[in-house]
Amino acid sequence: MRTDLGVKPYKIQLVQELKPNDLPQRRIFSEWALEKLAENPLFYRQILFSDEAHFWLNGYVNKQNCRIWSEEQPEAVQELPMHPEKCTVWCGLYAGGIIGPYFFKDAVGRNVTVNGDRYRSMLTNFLLPKMEELNLVDMWFQQDGATCHTARDSMAILRENFGEQFISRNGPVSWPPRSCDLTPLDYFLWGYVKSKVYRNKPATIPALEDNISEEIRAIPAEMLEKVAQNWTFRMDHLRRSRGQHLNEIIFKK
């Protein structure tokens, strides 16, 4: 195809559809961020970005990358369970490191998804003690607009511990909706970790959790610094695009 037709393969990039009202919110956020960076070029090091992700136990087969080479169509079948097991992971990422992973579990250790009570328990019993242990002071905390994040009691915990220094829907600084392209966990961490944790095909959730923890611990500090710096470039592109998708970054060759 390259030689005969002169065409090139391109990988599909998934982005969230932006609504008309999202564009000014994204532009306003970029202007705020660039103002902070103008005041302090190292401001990006003061932001703790946060997010959750699901890791499915059967996730090691990637239909985008998997190819079966054969003289005839193999009609291969992959058997999947009706309700595959998964774990829900939270991480906080900043230029100096990663806080986490934190796996959401119930009182008897079973994997569960996130709700308001579990999120607040994570903030109070995991995140805040970790930040104190690491002596992370004068930090900004970022979260997206998930309901469990923006519930009144959750926001009260954030205001008590971060004052006006947090970024969230309904927060002192508004996080723009449908903006996974603006947080390092979505544009880097989750994809990076998921590309590695299934290589040895973990057969149990504990094995998958061990892989997740190991791969996150192995990420070099200099890589996280570059990832955080990339956020500053995205803010500049976002302002120039007036809130549109970051085509120059996401779709660059």
Is 48 among the domain residues?
Answer: yes
Residue with tokens 């990637």: 62
Q: Tens digits of per-residue pLDDT, 235-246?
A: 998 888 876 766
| 128 pLDDT more than 70 | yes
Sign of the alpha-carbon torsion through 166, 122, 15, 218? positive
User: Hey, what are 8's tokens?
Assistant: 């090139």
105 against 240, higher pLDDT:
105
Q: What is the pLDDT of residue 17?
A: 66
pTM above 0.75, yes or no: yes
Residues of the chain with pLDDT > 90: what percent? 65
The answer to whether the peptide bond before residue 101 is cis (omega within 30 degrees of 0) is yes
User: Hey, what are 189's tokens?
Assistant: 């961490």
Is 71 among the domain residues?
Answer: no
Closest-CA residue to 61 (of 51, 76, 74): 76
Boundaries of domain holding 47? 21-57+84-241
Is 13 among the domain residues?
Answer: no
Is 12 among the domain residues?
Answer: no
Is 16 among the domain residues?
Answer: no
What letter would DSSP give residue 45? G
92 against 5, higher pLDDT:
92
The three-state DSSP-derived secondary structure of 111-157 is ECCCCHHHHHHHHHHHHHHHHHHCCCCCCEEECCCCHHHHCHHHHHH
Is 137 among the domain residues?
Answer: yes
Asked if residue 235 lies in contact with residue 228, where contact means CB atoms within 8 angstroms, the answer is: no
Asked if residue 136 lies in contact with residue 48, where contact means CB atoms within 8 angstroms, the answer is: yes
Mean pLDDT, rounded, of the chain: 85
Is 151 among the domain residues?
Answer: yes
Mean predicted confidence (pLDDT) in 145-173? 95
- Number of domains present in the structure of the chain: 1
Mean predicted confidence (pLDDT) in 110-120? 94
- The domain that contains 156 carries what CATH number? 3.30.420.10
Q: Tens digits of per-residue pLDDT, 67-85?
A: 444 445 555 555 555 557 8
Q: What is the pLDDT of residue 252?
A: 46
Mean predicted confidence (pLDDT) in 168-195? 91
